[in-house]
């Protein structure tokens, strides 16, 4: 019980910090909207290709932007732990009688909550630009939840690396290195069945695809049972990553 309180306290601090950084809030909202507008218009012609899954490229791409934003938000989730270590705040928390695991878990949850805010805004913006979400409000809730799970996973990876690397410069480089390949080898911006076979193979094992597919099904097709395996995979992967991140963090402080 007290571990839950500790998790909430760690999370509370991160959310407070986010609220106090207006530039960060502004950018986290504006950036995905710019992508939405730019990519949505630039790639509009793509939807003319025969057998393209949707009539409107925006319908296809909006889920992609949701995932993209989630990735960019999540991959830097581990930075705060590196900062806390450097500034001595980590030691201060560790000197208190709090659950050790609550520190990484609280930070992952905070990153995920912040990302859910961004996702909500993207969905609203996409709707305003004329995108369709066939499943309505309930579908929007489902999208946000899936994006939050994905964000937990990515911030878990980031945090695990942060615990091991202990330097923000290295962490930034490694996470930047991971971000684009993760994006481009998934079906986020382009349907997998248009890709060459080897890339399709990668797309299938890429965890990002397992988040994007159910989101896209929910927005463009409706409630289908086919989303369940993907959702199952993404939840299972996220739990494994969170466990590993927590373990690596605990090892890094002992």
Partner 1 sequence: MPSSIIKTENLTKIYSGNIKAVDNVSFEVEEEEIYGFLGPNGAGKTTTILMLITLLKPTSGKATVCGFDVAKEQAKVRACIGYVSQDTAVDESLTGRENLLLQGRFYHLPKEILEKRINEVLEMVDLTDRANSIVSTYSGGMRKRLDIAEGLIHRPRVLFVDEPTLGLDIQTRHKIWEYVQRLREEAHMTIFLTTHYMDEADKLCDRVGIIDYGQIKVVGEPNELKSQIGGDIITLKFKNETNSYANQALEEIKKLSSIENIAPTKESYNVVAKDGETTIPKIFEVANKEGVMIESISLKRPSLDDVFMAYTGRELREETGSKEDLMKERIRMRRARK
The residues of the shown chain that bind partner 1, judged by CB under 8 A, are: 2, 5-6, 9, 12-13, 16-17, 20-21, 85, 87-89, 91-98, 166, 253-254
* Nearer of residues 97 and 136 to partner 1, judged by Cβ: 97
Kindly state the smallest distance separating residue 81's Cβ from partner 1, in Å: 13
CB of 70 to partner 1, least distance (A): 24
DSSP 176-229: HHHHHHHHHTTTSSS-GGGS-HHHHHHHHH-HHHHHHHHHHIIIII-S-TTHHH
Q: Which is nearer to partner 1, 2 or 41 (CB)?
A: 2
Under 8 Å between Cβ of 70 and 157:
no
* CA distance linking residue 83 with residue 88, whole number of Å: 8
CB 111 within 8 A of CB 73: yes
Q: How far is the CB of 166 from partner 1 (least distance, A)?
A: 7
The residue among 9 and 47 lying less far from partner 1, judged by its C-beta, is: 9
For partner 1, the closer CB: 15 or 184: 15
Q: How far is the CB of 17 from partner 1 (least distance, A)?
A: 5
Q: Check: CB of residue 195 under 8 Å from CB of residue 74.
A: no
């Amino acid at each position: 019980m007290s571990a839950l309180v500790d998790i909430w306290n760690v999370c509370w601090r991160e959310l407070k910090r986010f609220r106090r950084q207006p530039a960060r809030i502004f950018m986290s909202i504006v950036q995905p909207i710019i992508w939405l507008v730019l990519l949505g218009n630039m790639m509009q012609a793509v939807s003319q290709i025969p057998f393209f899954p949707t009539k409107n490229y925006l319908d296809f791409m909006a889920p992609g932007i949701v995932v993209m934003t989630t990735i960019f938000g999540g991959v830097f989730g581990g930075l705060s732990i590196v900062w806390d270590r450097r500034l001595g705040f980590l030691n201060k928390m560790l000197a208190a009688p709090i659950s050790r695991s609550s520190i990484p878990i609280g930070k992952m949850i905070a990153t995920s909550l912040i990302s859910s805010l961004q996702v909500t805004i993207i969905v609203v913006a996409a709707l305003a630009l004329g995108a369709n979400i066939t499943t309505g409000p309930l579908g929007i809730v489902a999208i946000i939840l899936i994006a939050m799970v994905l964000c937990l996973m990515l911030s878990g990876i980031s945090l695990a690396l942060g615990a091991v690397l202990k330097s923000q410069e290295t962490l930034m480089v490694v996470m930047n290195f991971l971000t684009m390949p993760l994006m481009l080898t998934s079906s986020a911006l382009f349907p997998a069945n248009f890709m060459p076979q080897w890339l399709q193979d990668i797309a299938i094992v890429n965890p990002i695809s397992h988040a994007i597919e159910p989101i896209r099904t929910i927005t463009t097709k409706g409630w289908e049972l086919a989303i369940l395996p993907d959702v199952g995979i993404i939840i299972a992967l996220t739990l494994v990553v969170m466990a590993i991140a927590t373990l690596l963090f605990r090892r890094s402080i002992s």
